[in-house]
Chains A and B, each alone.
Chain A
């Protein structure tokens, strides 16, 4: 055994090139004869375009061409699409307004794309952009959701005269009403899930290239799912048929969901490459990323929870307004519906749930999936609710949760999901121990002596990952299946190339996927390379999001490895002159059961290719297999995070003192990488709770469009995390993996806010709980005395 198999804490293979500056990102791609594109963006939140004067700009030095929405329309290039159909509760389909890649007659948010200027250099393109004169007729904007649904509000899309994309519902309304009718206590809470900007380290970029000899396109782009990009650009937008369009997502510096989507810029770059007959490159600056990357979250929710006299939850009803921005981004419609409401049961056995969600248009950037995508919003609702309910009925928040935990699996919730495996008690018990919960009273008293408010907050989150069974998501409106593909190519010398439809943009697939191969074939990870992110190399794939690459992507690899093993046994049988049924494969060696005859994996590989020992008609030469894996269920990672913090009431400054995370991710491939995912996720969740917030002013100007005004968490804002794990294997995939990529971002916000509200003694504080907001909240109501 090589020591690099499943469960090994091996260092990431990809890090050498990343930390030595050898990565190849889209901005590192430079094609011969390449021109540079910049996008003229709307300074208005809502305006008609009466005319665009391009002559002066065209005359500027270095300008090659300038295009507007009219040029795209003339070439019959379709608009951007939303690939998940949601039906309102009255059965009508969602109201999707047209989303042209360059505006046609109207702009709907600050940053909306008006024209593209292509020049010899980026600086020349920018200078020329200054000379474009756009005649806008400024319209009143609907910036907040409250503004957008007012009667007489400005209409963004004619198809949605009330700015409502859908009025969707899930669950049994009558059963939920009946549950509330017999409640001994009802907890009510209004919650805002603040709007976030995704902020991957690498801004989006694209290089479009067109081969005039073959009439074929290549698009290099910052994508989490290049095959989906190709499918959409071909089948819906109409750039070129799939066999004439290659999409390459090289090294990608983070995505957090924001690089799932098919945006205007890459569409325009690849189309324009043929228009001007030269490669076209665009790289976003940071403010463009703030303006035009799909934002995350932005919910306003009213929730009510019915309890019996013992504190058992009887029912939950939730009414949410979800801001979808000015246009429906690629998967936006699914995020506040099927990725949100089915998780509202949390870890709890709740007999009746009814959820209503209104998806709304506003004059703001489109909103779509961001790390966790719907599940952080659900966890925030249910975990704030149970904490407040426990406080109201004067029960310990840990014991209140325990009383309501799901204990038997499989567990069918009233909102679609069937939880297949878990042990919620075990995670809570371990987290209480690790966090020294029993002495919290003494620690609060210590803080009080120093004039500080100490609070503790729980978050017993659950998420649905490993998305997803194709037929199931199809029945819910998804336009695609969510399987994954893999191909295992064994070279004649026994080294292995894995081609995967998953895409690594920070997750460490080059290491973890190789560990699976190492485990299965008994070879070192150094003899395995992972190929991904190129539609010419990998035939088809669905990409990386929703913590699906381990559970779904690796399961496809595992299935292909099963086929490799079966084929290799046949080859070994010929070489060792035994029946394949008598061949055993262990620790990288094939042997004949009950004998000392054996041959190693590399030798079998060579024999498979030289094909001297078997008849090529009986057994095909070579050792290469592929597989598609379609999961049988979502996976359900779950755990308990406990945040303990101190607030200085004089300044409102919060210091997180301890963070305990106990997660059940099923089987773990590389604990170091998993812990890293947990750390990063918590950092993003703490960022949402304490620091981050995208703010549009009443005229629709994004006033948090740089790091001067949008506060990201820094190392000093975060504690040293105490991370533990429990394990229940996932029954719905062969590796027992549940997924870990989003857990921290899902768990953290309610843990922080439960701790803050514990510290200040009331619920009147919203995210982000900045020092100013907290100071005001503390002034508003005198905090209850810290525990003696």
Chain B
């Protein structure tokens, strides 16, 4: 089953600073909720282990994360897919754009456009919960990221 989310957050640093953090595996690992490992496998690829709980289903997803459409410092596309064993699978991606700040403000605006797809037990048992979990997970990520940016 598929779902989409969009949103934006105001960040306190310049686009150039944010861009560096968006490409830093350590920052991403700290910000992705439930991320246990995130290891660089190529210039734009990572392998990841993420633990997620959706309603009654708790699963560890092992998969890959790929960065594409790199356009520093304007944005990129981050996409990933993971197998959660019997819990099913999750895959999805987000188009992330860094926009100039509103007039009179510093920093920049990060906008995101996420689409995600899950299957297997997560879809069977969590259909009603999944939108909420996905939104919460995305919110957490971008809030964490905003905090990371603020922390410098």
Question: Of residues 75 to 129 in B, which have CB atoms within 8 Å of A's CB atoms?
Answer: 83, 85-86, 88-89, 117-121, 123-125, 127-128
CB distance from B53 to the nearest CB of A (A): 15
Contact B125 A706 (CB under 8 A): yes
The docked-state distance in angstroms from the alpha carbon of A703 to that of B118 is 11
Asked if A43 and B127 sit within 8 Å, CB to CB, the answer is no
CA distance A43 to B1 in the complex (A): 11
Across the interface, B124 reaches (CB within 8 A) one of A126, A133, A291, namely A291
> Given A697-B2, A698-B2, is A706 in contact with B86 using a C-beta cutoff of 8 Å?
no
Whether a CB of chain B sits under 8 angstroms from the CB of A775 is no
Q: Which of A129, A699, A700 has the most CB of B within 10 A?
A: A699
A40 pairs with B119, CB closer than 8 A: no
Give the shortest distance, in Å, between B45 (CB) and chain A (any CB). Answer: 18
Number of A-B contacts (CB under 8 A): 63
Least Cβ–Cβ distance between B81 and chain A, in angstroms? 10
The answer to whether B1 touches A703, judged by C-beta atoms less than 8 angstroms apart, is: yes
**Residues from chain B with Cβ under 8 Å of A708 in the complex:** 125, 128
Distance from A568 Cβ to chain B, minimum over Cβ atoms (Å):
59
A766 is an interface residue with CB less than 8 A from chain B: no
Q: Quick one: which of A560-582 are within 8 Å of B by CB? A: none
Write the chain B residue with the least CB distance to A40: B86
The minimal Cβ–Cβ distance linking A48 to chain B, given in whole angstroms, is 15
Q: Are B86's CB and A705's CB within 8 A?
A: no
Task: Known contacts A44-B119, A699-B2, A701-B1; decide if A709 and B86 are in contact (CB<8 Å).
Answer: no
Q: For the complex, is A287 an interface residue (Cβ under 8 Å from B)?
A: yes
Proximity bits, A703-718, B CB within 8 Å = 1, else 0: 1111011000000000
- Complex partner residue of A703 from B85, B117, B123, CB under 8 angstroms: B123
Candidates B83, B85, B117, B124; contact of A699 at CB < 8 Å: B117
Interface contact A703-B86, CB-CB below 8 Å = no
| Complex contacts, A399 vs chain B, CB 8 Å | none
CB of A699 within 8 A of CB of B86, answer: no
A287 touches B1 (CB 8 A): no
Q: Are A110 and B119 in contact (CB under 8 A)?
A: yes
Q: Are A702 and B86 in contact (CB under 8 A)?
A: no
A43 with B117: CB separation less than 8 A? no
- Chain B CB within 8 A of A290 CB: yes
- Which residue of A130, A131, A699 contacts B1 across the interface (Cβ within 8 Å)? A699
Size category of the binding interface on chain A = 20 to 34
Contacting residues, chain B, for A699 (C-beta < 8 A): 1-2, 117, 119
Asked if residues B86 and A287 are in contact (CB atoms below 8 Å), the reply is no
Provide the bound-state CA to CA distance between A45 and B119, in Å. Answer: 9
Complex Cα–Cα for A761 and B1 (A):
36
* B117 in contact with A702 (CB, 8 Å): no
Taken together as a complex, chains A and B put the C-alpha atoms of A319 and B113 apart, in Å, by 44
Q: Which residues of A contact B119 (CB under 8 A)?
A: 43-45, 110, 699-701
Cβ of A705 and Cβ of B124 under 8 Å apart? yes
Of A43, A134, A705, the most chain B CB neighbours within 10 A belong to A43
A55 smallest CB distance to B (angstroms)? 15
Q: Are B85 and A130 in contact (CB under 8 A)?
A: yes
User: B120 touches which one: A110, A697, A698 (CB < 8 A)?
Assistant: A110
Cα–Cα distance between A129 and B87 once the two chains are bound (Å): 11
Give the residue among B83, B86, B88 with the most A Cβ atoms within 10 A: B86
CB distance from A291 to the nearest CB of B (A): 7
Q: Mark B18-60, 1 if CB is under 8 A from A, else 0.
A: 0000000000000000000000000000000000000000000
Q: Looking across the interface, which residue of chain B has its beta carbon closest to that of A704?
A: B127
A43-B120 in contact given A697-B2, A699-B2 (Cβ < 8 Å): yes
When C-beta atoms are compared, the residue in chain A nearest to B125 turns out to be: A706
Note all chain B residues with C-beta closer than 8 A to A132. 85
**In the complex, what residues of A have CB within 8 A of residue B117's CB?**
699
A699-B1, A699-B117, A701-B1 known; A126 vs B123 contact (CB < 8 Å): no
In whole Å, how far is B87's beta carbon from the nearest beta carbon of chain A? 8
Q: How far does the Cβ of A54 sit from chain B's closest Cβ, in whole Å?
A: 13
User: Provided the pairs A697-B123, A703-B1, A703-B123 are in contact, do residues A709 and B128 lie with their beta carbons within 8 angstroms?
Assistant: yes
Q: Which residue of B lies closest to A702 (CB)?
A: B124
Task: Report how far A708 CA is from B123 CA in the complex, Å.
Answer: 12
Find the B residue at minimum CB distance from A130. B85
Complex-state Cα separation, A138 to B125, whole angstroms? 22
Q: Do A287 and B125 touch (CB < 8 A)?
A: yes
Residues in B neighbouring A43, C-beta threshold 8 A: 88-89, 119-121
Q: How far is the CA of A701 from the CA of B127 in the complex (A)?
A: 10
Identity of the chain B residue whose Cβ is nearest the Cβ of A134 in the assembled complex: B83
How close is A553's CB to chain B, nearest CB, in angstroms? 38
Q: Do B125 and A705 touch across chains, with their CB atoms under 8 A apart?
A: yes
CA distance A699 to B85 in the complex (A): 19
Cα(A703)–Cα(B121), bound, Å: 9
Closest approach, in angstroms, between the C-beta of A296 and any C-beta of chain B? 19
| A67 nearest CB across to chain B (Å) | 17
- Given the interface contacts A708-B128, A709-B128, does A701 sit within 8 Å of B86 by beta carbon? no
With a cutoff of 8 Å between Cβ atoms, the chain A residues found around residue B123 in the complex are 110, 697, 701-703, 705
Scoring B2, B85, B88, B124 by chain A CB atoms within 10 A of each residue's CB, the highest score goes to B124
Q: Are B2 and A290 in contact, CB atoms less than 8 angstroms apart?
A: no
Closest chain-B Cβ to A679's Cβ sits at a distance in Å of 31
Q: Which residues of B contact A133 (CB under 8 A)?
A: 83
Can you list 21 residue pairs at the A/B interface with Cβ under 8 Å? A40-B86, A41-B120, A43-B89, A43-B121, A44-B119, A134-B83, A287-B125, A291-B124, A697-B2, A699-B119, A701-B118, A701-B119, A701-B123, A701-B127, A703-B123, A703-B127, A704-B127, A705-B124, A705-B125, A708-B128, A709-B128
State the A residues within 8 Å of B (CB): 40-41, 43-45, 110, 126, 129-134, 287, 290-291, 697-706, 708-709
| Given A43-B89, A126-B86: 5 more A-B contacts, CB < 8 Å | A290-B124, A697-B1, A701-B1, A701-B119, A703-B123
The 4 closest A-B pairs by CB, nearest first: A43-B120, A705-B124, A701-B123, A703-B127
